[in-house]
A and B are shown apart, each in its own frame.
Chain A
């Protein structure tokens, strides 16, 4: 892939195209491109078929790379859907033999400018349903049922459009119909891969291209900035590094006294002064410490703006959760935070909201990244500063403990060693966490929308009585 970025392109590139697409166009050249042959089917022939070995050879010659790298590049083209296999269509790889491939028409190229819509997939499945008289594959059946459930309001449109697309397709000559059906099928293998297929889309096309841009930013600038950051980090954190400074009251690994761990437990009421100091270093520190996050949550509750933190936590849950729950979680998040009139509506700008809502129609782990970043910055620039000056934080600071350093004699150290016990099981810790979460959820309104709705309800009941 390095080679693609460094090569020059004889074809004038429109700004829309990426380097990979330019390579695909080069492969079309009648003189210098990949050798093209005719595919013979039962009653017709279709031109423009190319073999895997010819593709690999062409790439190897064009970029002066070895066979293995050429294969990898070729497989990438297939995985992203620029070329599709004519046999064994579900395996998106280049076979360096006489296996046949064909170029995908640009309409079905992967593109960043438009997301792959579930509506289109639903129409495709309905069309396939008509053609195959209901004999869809298992994963397609599941997708169909799921889409029918949550796109129910659009379903009449979907069926109507599927029928019309089917009829429109029938107008074309038979060989062209075969080509189109192959193209469409290949497109959906890439974008809705059957289970077990590796396509290029698992992490989104955007991440691949942003990596390429990143590489070419100024190296020197990054180097100096890195040094500055390292020095700043060391100065800030040096007293918190147990290798450089003794931890208070004593390091349990050295003295076998576990007071340090007990004082720094996750849900402790009064944290240590060192811990509280860390929260002032950066917003990230505050959020990553559960006790800090709790304190912050309490502060936000008093300001009735808890929805931002709740949204951020929901996004984290989506990012790190299991893939099976993603769609549900995304829908839940949409209903709770983003939809118009949602109970915990968060205030993000129109453009981010537009991108997010569009992305939620096909949720993946990082679909809420833009909104999450926005909310994170909002909290960091706005709430975080106020939190550090707030009575909640000052109270916590005041009550923070500053233990005295231990001074054990040798005999005491021996005693400590004998008294060693295992700590609480992580299962119990997790249960405690869950209990706390439940208590929190039941504890009363934390955002302004909830307060207003509670007030409105109250007014309603007052009027009735």
Chain B
């Protein structure tokens, strides 16, 4: 009777851990996506010390999520007696975590190189920044990353390492993951069909794409996009309608 009760408790604890890891996965995705969005501003006219700080904060968040998740996933995989369906789910999480780490590491490498190519130490460095057309930095995006809530992010306060060390640590982590746990990557199948993401709830206002296509008039009044006649206003209207 006691043994039966214990295993039910264990099962519940395990289920909770698995769902925690899934939440962590979603959080990691969120944070790394924000990181990438901010990183695209490096070297452009919106680059600055505040942007780089936001980048660092986002990176620290990602670091904490990664270390926590790595530890828990290893724990889940190490347990020998498992229900079959649980095992598949954990293995899938493992593979997805690997992919997320690799993807994040690639972004970290890019950021490292870009920050070296565009140092902001001196005033004249700002002249070298590229005029990309953007006006805002990444503060809204960083704000989104900061809203992520994880059970262990506040509790385990490991200090984030230096960027280059972080990249190397992920390398070591990936190596270790590939060697310690023998899950062939190809054995995991996707739960999503192709094209499934299209019908999801994300509805986009149609104007954004049209914004990119339609070119009205440039500053000096020449119809630069639609037709070659400089006085063809009628032609412009037809282009707009298209």
Chain A residues near B (Cβ < 8 Å): 11, 14, 16-17, 24-25, 28-30, 36-44, 46-49, 51, 86-87, 98-100, 102-108, 111, 113-114, 117, 119-120, 126, 129-134, 144-145, 148, 152-169, 171-183, 185
Interface pairs (26), CB distance under 8 Å: A11-B127, A14-B119, A37-B219, A39-B133, A40-B218, A41-B211, A42-B210, A43-B207, A51-B224, A86-B215, A105-B41, A107-B43, A107-B110, A114-B109, A119-B99, A120-B103, A130-B197, A130-B198, A130-B200, A131-B204, A134-B195, A148-B190, A159-B192, A163-B202, A172-B141, A185-B212
B40 touches A105 (CB 8 A): yes
Chain B residue, CB-CB nearest to A150: B186
A24–B130 touching, CB < 8 Å: yes
Segment at the A interface, from B13-21, B30-38, B80-88, B156-164:
B30-38
Q: Decide yes or no whether B2 CB sits under 8 A from chain A.
A: no
Would you call A161 and B40 a contact (CB within 8 A)?
A: no
| A47 B131 Cβ-Cβ under 8 A | yes
Q: Which 5 A-B pairs have the closest CB atoms?
A: A106-B43, A155-B190, A164-B33, A48-B131, A134-B198
List residues of chain A with CB within 8 A of the CB of B30.
164, 167-168
Q: How far is the CA of A434 from the CA of B187 in the complex (A)?
A: 36
A39 and chain B: residue at smallest CB distance:
B218
- Quote the shortest CB–CB distance from A151 to chain B (angstroms): 9
- Establish whether residues A165 and B37, one from each chain, have CB atoms under 8 Å apart when the complex forms: yes
**Residues A164 and B140 in contact, CB atoms below 8 Å apart:** no
CB-based contact B113/A111 at 8 Å: yes
Interface residues of B (CB under 8 A from A): 25-26, 29-30, 32-34, 36-37, 39-45, 92, 95-96, 99-100, 102-103, 106, 109-110, 113-114, 116-119, 127-136, 138, 140-141, 143-145, 185-192, 194-198, 200, 202, 204, 207-212, 214-220, 222, 224-225
A129: which B residues are within 8 A, CB to CB?
A: 195, 197-198
User: Which residue of A is nearest B40, CB measured?
Assistant: A107
Q: Which residues of A contact B131 (CB under 8 A)?
A: 28, 36, 47-48, 102-103
Q: A180 near B134 (CB under 8 angstroms)?
A: yes
Query: Told that A51-B224, A113-B113 touch, could you supply 16 new A-B pairs with CB distance under 8 A?
Result: A41-B211, A42-B207, A44-B211, A47-B135, A98-B224, A102-B132, A103-B132, A106-B118, A131-B204, A152-B190, A157-B103, A164-B32, A165-B33, A167-B144, A168-B33, A177-B208
Determine whether the beta carbon of A148 is less than 8 Å from that of B114: no
Residues of A within 8 A of B196 (CB): 159
* Cα(A365)–Cα(B96), bound, Å: 30
A38-B219, A42-B207, A168-B34 known; A153+B95 contact, CB < 8 A: yes
Q: Would you give the shortest CB distance from B220 to chain A, in whole angstroms? A: 8
Q: How far is the CB of B167 from chain A (nearest CB, A)?
A: 12
- B175 → chain A closest CB, angstroms: 11
> Which residues does chain A contribute within 8 Å of B192, judged by CB atoms?
155-156, 159
Which residues of chain B come closer than 8 Å to A108, judged between CB atoms?
Answer: 40
Q: How far is the CB of A411 from chain B (nearest CB, A)?
A: 74
- A40 near B219 with CB under 8 A, answer yes
**Shortest Cβ distance from residue B130 to the other chain A in the assembled complex, whole angstroms:** 5
Of A30, A105, A164, chain B has the most CB atoms within 10 Å of the CB of: A105
- Tell me, rounded to whole Å, the shortest Cβ–Cβ distance linking B205 to chain A: 10
Given known A28-B129, A99-B224, A167-B144, contact A156–B96 (CB-CB < 8 A) = yes
Establish whether residues B109 and A106, one from each chain, have CB atoms under 8 Å apart when the complex forms. no
Flag if A171 contacts B40 (CB, 8 Å): no
The smallest beta-carbon distance between B127 and chain A, in angstroms, is: 6
A24 to B34, CA, bound (A): 28
- The answer to whether A153 and B218 touch (CB under 8 A), given A42-B210, A105-B43, is no
Cβ-closest chain A residue relative to B46: A176
Q: A11 — which chain B residues lie within 8 A by C-beta? A: 127-128
Q: Indicate if the CB atoms of B117 and A17 lie closer than 8 Å.
A: yes
Q: Which residues of B are found within 8 Å of A87, using beta-carbon distances?
A: 215, 224-225
- Specify which chain A residues have a CB less than 8 angstroms from the CB of B110 in the assembled complex: 107, 111, 114
In the complex formed, the residue of B with least CB distance to A44 is B211
Write out the residue numbers on chain B whose beta carbons fall within 8 Å of the beta carbon of A130: 197-198, 200, 202, 204
Of the candidates B26, B134, B202, B204, the one whose C-beta lies within 8 Å of that of A179 is: B134
Are B197 and A162 neighbours in the complex by a CB distance under 8 Å?
A: yes
Q: Decide if A148 touches B219 in the complex (CB within 8 Å).
A: no
State the CA gap A111–B116 with chains docked (Å): 14
B144→A180 contact, CB < 8 A: no
Across the interface, name the chain A residue whose C-beta is closest to B195.
A134
User: In the complex, A49→B33 CA distance in Å?
Assistant: 28
Alpha-carbon separation in the docked complex, A171 to B138 (Å): 9
Q: Are A172 and B211 closer than 8 Å at their CB atoms?
A: no
Q: Is the CB of A157 within 8 A of B96?
A: yes
Interface contact A14-B117, CB-CB below 8 Å: yes
A396 to B111, CA, bound (A): 60
Is the pair B198, A133 in contact by a Cβ cutoff of 8 Å?
yes
Q: In whole angstroms, what is the CA distance A144 to B186 when docked?
A: 18
Q: A42-B216, A130-B200, A161-B33 are in contact. Are A152 and B189 (CB under 8 A)?
A: yes
